[in-house]
Structure formats: structure tokens, C-alpha cells
Amino acid sequence: MSAKRWNVYLSGEIHSDWREQIRLGVEQAGLPVDLTGPITDHAASDECGVAILGPEETRAWTDHKGASVNAIRTRTLIEAADVVVVRFGDKYRQWNAAFDAGYASALGKPIVTLHDESIGHALKEVDAAALAVAERPEQVVQILDYAITGRL
Amino acid sequence: MSAKRWNVYLSGEIHSDWREQIRLGVEQAGLPVDLTGPITDHAASDECGVAILGPEETRAWTDHKGASVNAIRTRTLIEAADVVVVRFGDKYRQWNAAFDAGYASALGKPIVTLHDESIGHALKEVDAAALAVAERPEQVVQILDYAITGRL
Amino acid sequence: MSAKRWNVYLSGEIHSDWREQIRLGVEQAGLPVDLTGPITDHAASDECGVAILGPEETRAWTDHKGASVNAIRTRTLIEAADVVVVRFGDKYRQWNAAFDAGYASALGKPIVTLHDESIGHALKEVDAAALAVAERPEQVVQILDYAITGRL
Amino acid sequence: MSAKRWNVYLSGEIHSDWREQIRLGVEQAGLPVDLTGPITDHAASDECGVAILGPEETRAWTDHKGASVNAIRTRTLIEAADVVVVRFGDKYRQWNAAFDAGYASALGKPIVTLHDESIGHALKEVDAAALAVAERPEQVVQILDYAITGRL
Amino acid sequence: MSAKRWNVYLSGEIHSDWREQIRLGVEQAGLPVDLTGPITDHAASDECGVAILGPEETRAWTDHKGASVNAIRTRTLIEAADVVVVRFGDKYRQWNAAFDAGYASALGKPIVTLHDESIGHALKEVDAAALAVAERPEQVVQILDYAITGRL
Amino acid sequence: MSAKRWNVYLSGEIHSDWREQIRLGVEQAGLPVDLTGPITDHAASDECGVAILGPEETRAWTDHKGASVNAIRTRTLIEAADVVVVRFGDKYRQWNAAFDAGYASALGKPIVTLHDESIGHALKEVDAAALAVAERPEQVVQILDYAITGRL
Amino acid sequence: MSAKRWNVYLSGEIHSDWREQIRLGVEQAGLPVDLTGPITDHAASDECGVAILGPEETRAWTDHKGASVNAIRTRTLIEAADVVVVRFGDKYRQWNAAFDAGYASALGKPIVTLHDESIGHALKEVDAAALAVAERPEQVVQILDYAITGRL
Amino acid sequence: MSAKRWNVYLSGEIHSDWREQIRLGVEQAGLPVDLTGPITDHAASDECGVAILGPEETRAWTDHKGASVNAIRTRTLIEAADVVVVRFGDKYRQWNAAFDAGYASALGKPIVTLHDESIGHALKEVDAAALAVAERPEQVVQILDYAITGRL
């Protein structure tokens, strides 16, 4: 009945096109959804701190500066989100994705996780904090479609 | 004096047309009100979890998945609401309606209950947390009209 | 620099035209301010509960119903306010005005009180919780003008 | 490692001895648990308002006074609880139990529900907000024992 | 079942012995209650600011300093309270009592008001925010006794 | 992906043109940023209290009135901000800037500090609460550009 | 000066004796610290849900039940903690540790991470949210010792 | 009437014996006060980060590590405080003191500032957020004595 736009933050994996699939799905369904997420350019994300604020001699401080600058974006957008989707791929440790899930959980945000069943056991604490556990991006679109319009 | 739109969540009974009556009343009164509420298609509401996320062998997990997916919608919209109206019919246990009332109460939302006087005793704790106890949908419209415009 | 509109709630006395004076002042100064406040029709405010929800045999329950219905409006608008102005006249006990001031204070809202110096001693706890103590409506307009535009 | 005492609120059904069973179980297990709950004397709970604050002519106001006085206890103790257990029996509507569950959920309290599987479908929204769904009081004791000591 | 002590703040009138009556009643009933409240020595309360922090030439700043110093106590103790009792006598404006009620209400504290029925209409907004409206101190003791022990 | 506008509060030094540099940089980069900040007219900021609310005989109360009126603006805008930039120049004590940083930090706002390296040691507690420590206004623009668009 | 006891939650890796090392260090230093943490018996932690609440046919629901029961403990203890230490080992994905870090961060808890420098890059977002990044358990003890007593 | 102990955090200047004076005064008055504060050993406070977590090549990162470790203590103790006293001496910039004041203010803690009148103008924003502005340590003791016992 209302014209509310839904703000959905897409956290996690940056090595596959799942965000694009969700974007296309949301668009095709004509959903009133604004998608946000982290900067997904890996190199930029790693180097933003030193690129803007000056070089560091160690990887540790380079990382600290970069992660802090990225946090300006991620914290702001997660706090503004209605729903947080967290994607885990089958590679890398992706601790930032799990961190985002914990952060969103403590803020009381509805969480949807998105990952292969094969890594479900390792993700059990994260999944237990989620309202839906999806395996494919189109399921995320269907969840948003149902939550917003009631369509199945 | 201001142009504020009021966001009113309509929780509870899905077997009568009370939401439609309120919608019509609000429209006829020309009130700046956005009405929201749960998905009211009973079958969709029951099956949404398994329809999207895959089948379950037991009713219990089917329900768990469905109720969790519905919570993505209901929590988001209740938290966005200025006022929460909770309707109890004379059939079914409607524990979700009472749950929503408790949830809204802890968030400090103004609550209006809507039910026959005949079930008032069973609802006394819920009514005691409400700012108004109405029996008919038009009273809800009148409350919104008065609260927003001062008209009686 | 920004185009923010300021939401200002005008609480308290309903027997003089101070709200109208502030409204005119804000308009003449062209300030981006939305003014809100309680229903100021005394009779409607007293009778709204029973008029909508049915008669009561005692004044106490008539008052309880009415005050509760009014609270739907006042709580919602105070929580939405950026600034709360609380006016005390020289008549009546106006406990609702002091209640609103305490409510706004606990929510961390900036408070401006508006009253004659002659009742300042009785209002010392309320004034001590305020960021400004004004005596005349035009001072409230000047405060808003300065806070928003920097003009003196 | 720590000597923390756990504060567990037992909400809901007052017509069976489930609270006593949990109390005994907790005692036998030697758990550092303080159990709290509502007043379980049905007549006292219904009449406390008018007994203390004076009689009312209608059931509705008798109920309002009573439920409000009971809320002084229940709100205070739920907010002080680490864990909230909510019991649903097979009789009565028990809307206050579901209300408490919603209230506890919005406060972010861990919830354990306790009820027969036969009413699980009707309770699906409440169960979906719980971290455990138990059928027998001894399971609640086992959950507390495990959560506090790690014993299985 | 638990050994919780209840923290009850007694706000308002300082010209009758109602606090002493409640203290005696609580003691006789053996309730686990800690009573707190404002400084009730009127002269000290008015002069504490200038007595400690230096004299002022105007009543207004004397009041400001005094009310601010008193707020160190009252805010701290209200925020620590489980229940707030607010007493209104038949004399003076007692805006600080109404302010405390509003402050406690926004913090979600259970409120009990205590006043003659004769001033009930003027207090309707405050009473509507309370969970009990008492006329005599022994009723407050009875409410605490019931809320804590279930005795009627 | 979304059209979110970012609200950035610029706190601190008022004796150089750093706000104007950031404003120009944001404009040239075409960023969806609304910049806010305190009143930067030093004389107006000092005198606003007495100019509007009447003269005081002492500097202390003149300052108290003025700082309180300014707080109406600064608190409101800091609470509305997504990001708070705090600039420290090499002159004056600028305790208000450090106060704003502490205030923003407790609210969980992302903070960027802006100051010469030469005063970094004295600012170490403030910098440790920041997500970025910049030395030049264009770095602040670059941070906003990266955080919003991902451009480096 | 005060006798405050510090509540420190030890999250993460359960395959080495780091908790025991911290416990011994805290004991030897005589610090007023209560250490808490998750259940570290891996098998019990995996099976607690089905052991208490009944078997499941799939690993996914076994995990869901278990992780939810564990969350009763972990959420309660993290919210009660003054400081949260999060340990990452060099094996396993340990997403629950990163989840806990995010959860603690959103609650505003001071975080100390504990891990080898070799995994620092993968943990950069988690480390950036921490107030200290340690490599060895004795450093955690030294941090607690310094934070509590000022000893270096 | 109650036996509450008051938790008072003493922030700011570490180059005079004001904390000791307050400690002695509180002791002589027999007040139920627990005093807390930052580590006041300047060298330890500066070096704690690198002493525990390893050396840095730059002053900036040495400071960052140290200030972050100190924040584990200061944040924890400020959040646990009932009242925050902030002392400004006549030397150094003491930005950390002003930061603490802002932090405490956003948390709603009652603040007492302590400084010479001569620096009052520079501190006007900080003082305006305080409930008392004292010049001498014994005034702080008197404020605590009055707030706790009512003695003048």
C-alpha cells in the first residue's frame, strides 16, 4: 500500500557477479529497492588508504588505513539498510563478510545469507542469525519480491 | 502545519476486510497516511519459505522457514511505523498479532487494538499496552483523523 | 549549505496566540521549518476519547481515554522533532507541558522554554534542561533563524 | 570461569506446574540461575488493580487496572532477564504470553519457547523468533545447564 | 524466586510526609526495596548551586545553578530506578514532578502517580502515562508489595 | 547503485577557508553530499545568546547563553550527519572541536580528522577515534569521493 | 581506585590453549577479571541442539539447532562483557569469530584481536575495528593489566 | 535511603594533584563513591601501545597504538560512570579531556567541569554541556556530597 523504497546492502564476496544478478533481477521485477554495498574493486579497496592519506612502510598499516577508510562507507550503508544480504563464496576467508553479518545482527537488521550448502556447517552461527539462507542470487530476488509485494 | 505523512502498520487478522475498510476510510478522509501490513494471502504466507528456499520434510521446518521470511517484511515495516494497529478476530489464536503488539510496545510505538468487547478480558495485557482500544475499523480511521488533523 | 528542513514541536499553552506568532515569524523569515504541536482545540482535546471510542460514566476514564488518544499524536510528533519549544502561560497548571519537556529531555532533544520571567523560579528544573529560555515568541523565531541560517 | 548468575524469566501458562519443574531441575543441577516470572495466582492477577486502587463498574476497566499493575512487575523483570522462556499450554488464548515474547524479542533477549508440537503451526512466528523450541520443562533445564556450564 | 532488590524513585511534593509513610510501609512489609528521591530540604535545594559554586546577582542564575546541581542527583537516580512514583500535592505548580514523569516515561520506566482525585483532570496526560494512579501512600506500598511478592 | 545523499558535518576551526575548499571539491566532483557545520561567524557565535535573549553582566553567562544557543544547531546537525569531519588549526585551544569529536564518537559516527602532522601527538586520542586522519582538505574530498563512488 | 571487576569475553579458536594461557596470566597478575567465552567442547557445541531438543535428519537443521542454542550463551555473555578478545588461528574459517567481532563492534565494545601477523591482511577489516591487535596471549594479559592497573 | 555507591570518573589534567584532593575529600566526607580515571603516568600512557604490542618507526603509529590501548580503559570506565568530572589545567591543549566531555555528553552522563575562570571563554561549549562548573577540587567534593547526601 505504501511507496516505501527498500534499502538492501549486499555484503561479501567480490569475485563473482552475484550483485549484478540481483541487480538485474530486482530491475526485471520492478521492485522499489535501492541496492548498496562495499567498493568491489579489490585493488582500490586495498590501496585506498595509502593512495589518499599517504604511503606506509608496512602492509599492516597500509591495511589498517585502507580498512578504516572502507569502513566509512560500509558502516554508514549497513546502518542505513533495511535488509543485509551476506554472500560467502567458496574461496578466501571472507572474514569481513562474517564481521558485517555480526555487525548487522547486533543492529537488529534482517539478514539473508547466500552461499553453497557445502559450506553451511562452517557458517552455522552466521546462518542461525539469518532470517533466510539462500543458495542462489535469484532466491534473494524472490525473497525481496515476496517481502515487498507478496508475490510468489 | 507540517506535511508529515503518517506510517501506520496494520497487524493481525487476515480473514475479514478490516484493512480495506480502514484504507477506504483513510482515503475518503484524505489523510496523509501510508498503510502497511503483513502479507495477507494465507497460503502464500504459509508456503513462502519452502517455495523460495526449497522443500522441507516436516511442517515444523516449513513453518520456521516461512515465518522467518515473513519476518523480513514484518519487522522492517513495524520498525518504520509511526502507529501500529493490531486486530484480533474471534477465531484462531492469532499469536502473531499479540507478538507484534509486544514487539511494537517494546519499541515504544503507539498501539491501537481493534477487537470485539467479548474478547477484551483475554486481551487485557495487550489492551493495557495500547493507547486506544477500538471495536470497529471506522473508529481507527477516526483516531487517525483526529491525531493528524484534530477533526472529531 | 544543506536544504534540511527543521521540525519544531510547539508544546504547552493553548490559550494565547503564541503558536500563530511563531508561525508568522517563521514564514516572514522564510525559514525551512515545519511546525507541529498538539491539538489546540481544548474541547476536542478533552472529549476525543469518548467521542470516538464511546462514553464513560466518570470524568477520570473520560480523561484517560482522551489523554491516551492525544498521546498518539504528541508522542509521535515529539519523537520526530528536531527542536521542542515548551510554552508556559501564567494560568493553569500545565502539567502536560512540563511532562512534554521531561519527555523531550530524556530523548535528548534540544529544548527552548517560553514563559514570563515571573514564573521562572517555579520552572527552574525545566529551564535548567533547556538550551534557551525565551520570554517572547519573536525570540523563538530569532533562535530558529540563528540556528538555521546564522542571522542575528 | 565467571561467577555470573543467570536471570531467567518464565512467561506464560499458569495452569500447570512447569515453573516448579524448572525450579527443581535448576536446583538439582546446582545452576547459578535466578528464576522470575509473573504473579501466577490467577484471581490475584485479575483483581489486583481494583483491590488496591478501588472498584470499577465494568470488567473492561477492572481488567485495565489489573493488567497495568501487573505490567509494573512483568516489564521490570523481563527487562532485567538474560533469557526469557515462554510457555504455551493447550488451553486459553494466552495472548499475554505471545505479547511477552514479542516484547522480549524487540529487546533482543534470547527466547526459549515451550509447548506441545501440536500447536507449533499456530505459534510459528513466535517460534521463529526463539533460539530454542522445547516441548518439556526438563529440556529448558538442559538448555540452561548447557548454556551456563557446557554440560550435555 | 529471585532476590532482586527493587529500586523505587519517589519524585515530587516535598511538603507532606508521604515519603516517610511509604518508607515505613515498605519496612513493615519487609519488602526488598531501595527508596531514592530528590533532596527534600527546600532551602538547600534552592541554594545548593550558589552555596557551592559561588553567588549570583539574579534569582534566575541562582536557580539555574541550583537546578543543575540537583539534576546531577535526580537524573542519576531516575535512570537507576526500576519504578518511579510521582506525587502531586494540592499546592504549588510542581512542574519538576511533571518533568520527572515525562523523563521517566521516555526512558520506559513504570510510573505510579499519587495525588487526590480532585486534581486528576489537570493531570490527565501524566496519569495516562502511568501504570497506576494512587490516592494514598499505602496504595503505593500495596502496589509494590503485590508487584514484588504477589500478596494482596 | 542507490541515490543516497551523504550528510557530512564539518566541525572545528573557523579561521581558514577549509570548509570552502571542501565545498568546492565536493561540487567539482559532483558528489551527492550535503555539507553542514556550525555558525562560522565568530562574533555572531559569541554574542547570539545575549543578542536574542537579553544582556548579561558577566562574560561567563554571556558565554553560557551563547554556547547553549549554538548547541541547538550543532547537536541537531551532528546527530543528522553520516560522517563528521573535525578540523584542528594550529592556533587556539579549539576545545569545542574535540568535544564534537567525542560527541560524534559516542554516537558511533564515522569521524575524519583534519590537521597538520605537527599537532598529531596532542590529538592522539581524537585521531585514534577517527577512521581517517587527513592533513589537507582535498584529502577529505578524496575520502568522500572514494567512500561514495569508489573512485581513487 | 575502584574495586570494579572486568568482564572479558574470549571469542574464537577452540583448538589451542590460548584461553588457558590468558587465565593463568590473569591469575598470576592478580587481576580483577572474570573471563567468559563460548563452550569450547567442539562435539558438544555441534550436537547440543539435537541432543537436547531432538534429532534432525539433515546436517543443516542439526547445525541450526545447535548454533541457536549456543547463541543463548554467546549473545548473553558478549552483551555482558566489558572487553571482547577475538582469537583467530591459522586453520579453519572461523566465521563465528569474525561474526562475534562484528557483533561486539556494533555494540560498541572494546575489541582486542589475537592472531599471527601472517593472517593480518585477511583480517584487516576486523583488526581495523579493534583497539589492539595482539599476536600472543601474554600480550592480551599485559593489555588487561595495563588497562586495569596501569602497570607496564 | 539506599546504599547505592556512586561511580565518578575523573577525566583530564594529569599534572596537578586534583584527583588526590578529591579522593581525600570524598574519604573525609565518608561518601559512598568509587573514583575512576585514566592512567595518569604520562610516560606509561604514551608508550603502552608499543611497549606491549611492539615498536613502531613513527611517532604517529606509536601514538595510535597507545591511544587505542588507553581507550580500552577510558571508554569502559566512562560508560560505567554515574558522573564524569572533567578537569582542564592552564597548560597543554588537553584535547582528550574535551573529547571525553563530548563522549560523556552524548551518553547523557551528568558532567562537572573543573577549571580556572580564566579559561572559561575557551571552554564555553564544554561548560554549557555541564551541570556544574567548578574552580576548585573541594567544590567537586561538595557537589558529590550534596548530590548523594543533601548536605551543604
Q: What is the pLDDT of residue A92?
A: 86
- Interchain pair G147, H41: CB under 8 A: no
Q: Distance of CA G54 to CAs A40, B130, F53, G41, G57, Å?
A: 43, 39, 71, 20, 10
> How far is residue B147's CA from residue B144's CA, in Å, rounded to a whole number?
5
Tell me the residues of chain A between 36 and 55 that have a Cβ less than 8 Å away from chain F.
36-37, 39-41, 44, 47-49, 51-53
Facing residue for H125 by CB, picked from F88, F96, F105:
F96
Summarised one tens digit per residue, pLDDT across range H3-13 is 799 999 999 99
User: DSSP states of A20-75 as a string?
Assistant: HHHHHHHHHTT--EEEE-----HHHHHHHHHHHH---SSHHHHHHHHHHHHHHHHH
Asked whether the predicted pLDDT for residue E1 surpasses 60, the reply is no
Percent of all residues in chain H with a pLDDT value above 90, rounded to a whole number:
95
Count chain B–chain D contacts defined by CB atoms under 8 A: 128
Q: How far is G146 from chain D (nearest CA, A)?
A: 21
- Which residues in chain D are contacts of G37 at CB distance < 8 A? 1
User: Averaged over D58-84, what is the pLDDT?
Assistant: 98
| pLDDT-based confidence at residue G73 (cuts at 50, 70, 90) | very high
Residue whose C-alpha cell reads 611517532 in the numeric block: H59
Question: Are C2 and F35 within 8 A, CB to CB?
Answer: yes
Cα-based distances in Å from H101 to E35, E47, F120: 30, 26, 20
Q: Given an 8 Å threshold on Cβ–Cβ distance, is D72 in contact with E147?
A: yes
Measure the CA–CA gap between G42 and G13, rounded to whole angstroms: 10
Chains C and B touch (3+ CB pairs under 8 A): yes
User: How much is the pLDDT for F3?
Assistant: 73
Of G108, G139, G148, the CB nearest to H53: G139
Q: Does the pLDDT of residue E2 top 60, yes or no?
A: no
Q: According to DSSP H, which parts of chain C are helical?
A: 18-28, 42-53, 59-80, 95-106, 124-128, 137-149
Partner G contacted by H107 (CB < 8 A): no
Question: Is the pLDDT assigned to residue B2 strictly greater than 60?
Answer: no
E93 with C117: Cβ contact below 8 A:
no
User: For residue D77, which phi and psi values (nearest 5 degrees)?
Assistant: -75, -35
- pLDDT above 60 for H2: no
Supply F94's cell numbers.
579549539
pLDDT attached to residue C3: 72
Chain G interface includes H109 (CB < 8 A): no
Closest CA to E135 of E152, E150, E113, E151: E113
Instruction: Residue H72: name the closest of A99, G8, F123, G29 by CA.
Output: G8
Q: Do residue F52 and residue C146 have CB atoms under 8 angstroms apart?
A: yes
Residues of D in contact with B74 (CB under 8 A): 125
Chain G touched by D4 (CB under 8 Å): yes
D78 alpha carbon, distance to own chain's centre: 9
Secondary structure (DSSP) of G56-124: -SSHHHHHHHHHHHHHHHHHHHHHH-SEEEEE--SSS--HHHHHHHHHHHHTT--EEEE--GGGTTTTH
Note the pLDDT of residue D3: 72
d(C-alpha B69, C-alpha B63), whole Å: 10
Please tell me the predicted confidence (pLDDT) of residue B71.
98
What's the pLDDT at E45? 96
Query: Is F110 in CB contact (< 8 Å) with chain H?
Result: no
What whole-number percentage of chain G has pLDDT above 70? 99
The C-alpha atoms of residue E17 and residue A12 are separated, in whole angstroms, by 64
Residue H11's DSSP bridge partners are H86
In angstroms, the CA C124 to CA D98 distance is: 44
Band (pLDDT 50/70/90 cuts) for residue F91 is: confident
CA-CA-CA-CA dihedral for C7, C10, C11, C12, to nearest 10 = 180
CA atoms E24, E27, E32, E35: torsion sign: positive
Considering only CB atoms, which chain C residues are within 8 Å of E71? 125, 128-129
Beta bridge partners of C6: C33
Q: Do E125 and C101 touch (CB under 8 A)?
A: no
Give the Cα separation of H16 and H22 in Å (integer).
Answer: 12
What amino acid is encoded at E73 in this protein?
R
Task: Tell me the mean pLDDT in the region B115-142.
Answer: 98
d(CA E72, CA H109): 9
Q: What is the pLDDT along chain A (152 residues), one digit of tens a residue?
A: 457 999 999 999 999 999 999 999 999 999 999 999 999 999 999 999 999 999 999 999 999 999 999 999 999 999 999 999 999 998 889 999 999 999 999 999 999 999 999 999 999 999 999 999 999 999 999 999 999 999 99
Residue of chain H minimizing CA distance to G111: H72
Of all residues in chain F, the one with the smallest CA distance to H130 is F64
Contact B45, B70 (CB under 8 A): yes
Contact A95 G95 (CB under 8 A): yes
Pairs across A and F, CB distance < 8 A:
66
F7: contact with A, CB 8 A cutoff: no
* Residues of chain A contacting F110 with CB distance shorter than 8 Å: 71-72, 75-76
G109 min Cα distance to partner chain D (Å): 17
Q: Confidence class of residue B3 from pLDDT cuts 50, 70 and 90?
A: confident
* B contacts of C52 (beta carbons < 8 Å): 132, 134, 139, 142-143, 146, 152
Q: What are phi and psi of F13, to 5 degrees?
A: -40, 135
Closest of F97, F98, E68, F103 to residue H134, by C-alpha: E68
F103, H106 Cβ separation under 8 angstroms = yes
Burial environment of residue A48 by CB neighbours within 10 A (0 to 12, 13 to 18, 19 or more): buried
Question: How far is it, in rounded angstroms, from Cα D48 to Cα C148?
Answer: 52
* Euclidean distance between CA atoms B126 and D68, whole angstroms: 10
User: Angle, to 10 degrees, between the axis of helix E137-149 and the axis of helix D59-80?
Assistant: 60
Q: Which chains touch C (3 or more CB pairs under 8 A)?
A: B, E, F
**Nearby residues of D108 by Cβ (< 8 Å), 6 or more positions away:** A108, G75, G79
Could you tell me how many residues make up chain B? 152
Which residues are CB-neighbours of G97 under 8 A, at least 6 positions away? A95, A98, G11, G12, G13, G86, G87, G88
Q: DSSP state, H63?
A: H
Element containing residue E122 per DSSP (H, E): none
Of E95, E97, E106, the CB nearest to C106: E106
Which runs of E-coded beta strand occur in chain F?
Answer: 6-12, 33-36, 83-87, 111-114, 132-134
Chain D nearest C-alpha distance from B122 (Å): 7
Is C in contact with A (3 or more beta carbon pairs below 8 Å)?
no
Short-list F46, G20, H112, CA closest to E71: H112
In whole angstroms, what is the distance from residue F139 CA to residue B128 CA? 56
Cell numbers at residue C150, please?
Answer: 546564522
Using 50, 70 and 90 to split pLDDT, how confident is the model at G3? Answer: confident
Q: What is the pLDDT of residues B9-31, one digit of tens each?
A: 999 999 999 999 999 999 999 99
What's the gap in Å between the CA of H106 and the closest CA on chain E?
15
* Residue pLDDT, tens place only, B39-63: 999 999 999 999 999 999 999 999 9
Give yes or no for residue B118 having a pLDDT over 50: yes
Out of F110, F134, F139, closest to residue A75 by CB? F110
Beta-strand runs (E) in E3-101 = 6-12, 33-36, 83-87
Cα–Cα distance for residue pair C132/C117, rounded to 1 Å = 13
Mean pLDDT of F113-128: 97
D124 touches chain B (CB under 8 A): yes
In Å, how far is A124's CA from the nearest CA of chain F? 29
pLDDT tens for D21-35 read 999 999 999 999 999
Mean pLDDT, consecutive 10-residue segments, chain C of 152 residues? 84 96 98 98 96 97 98 98 97 94 98 97 98 98 98 95
Strand order in the sheet with B132-134: B33-36, B6-12, B83-87, B111-114, B132-134
Q: Report DSSP state, residue C118.
A: G
The number of beta carbons lying within 10 Å of the beta carbon of residue F90 is: 12
Q: Which residues of B touch A115 (CB under 8 A)?
A: none
When pLDDT is cut at 50, 70 and 90, the band that residue B122 belongs to is: very high
H-chain CB neighbours of G3 within 8 Å are: 34
* C-beta atoms of H110 and E76 within 8 A: yes
Q: Which of A72, A121, A125, A127 would you mutate first to test chain G, the one with the most G CBs within 10 A? A: A125
- Judging contacts by C-beta atoms under 8 Å, the chain B residues touching residue A133 are 53
Reply yes or no on whether the pLDDT at H1 is more than 60. Answer: no
Chains A and B are touching, with contact defined as 3 or more CB–CB pairs separated by less than 8 Å? yes
Q: Which chains touch A (3 or more CB pairs under 8 A)?
A: B, F, G
| Band of residue F60 on the pLDDT scale cut at 50, 70, 90 | very high
First-residue to last-residue Cα distance in chain E: 18
Between chains, do C36 and B83 touch, taking CB under 8 Å as contact? no
| 8 Å CB contact between E48 and E69 | yes
- Residue that has been written with the C-alpha cell 502497511 in this structure: B36
Q: Which residue of E has its CA nearest to D24?
A: E1
**Nearest CA among E65, E40, E43, E63 for reference residue E53:** E65
Q: Evaluate whether chains F and B are touching (3 or more beta carbon pairs less than 8 Å apart).
A: no
Identify the pLDDT of residue C1.
44
Tell me: pLDDT of F1 over 80.
no
Task: Return phi, psi of residue A8, to 5°.
Answer: -120, 120
Residue E62 in contact with residue E49, Cβ under 8 Å? yes
- Contact between chains at E70 and C125 (C-beta distance less than 8 A): yes
Task: Give the CA-trace dihedral at F111, F117, F119, F124, to 10 degrees.
Answer: 50
C-alpha grid cell, residue D29: 543441577
Residue B8 has phi, psi (to 5 degrees) of -120, 120
For residue G92, what pLDDT band results from cuts at 50, 70 and 90? confident
Q: Tally the residues of chain E.
A: 152
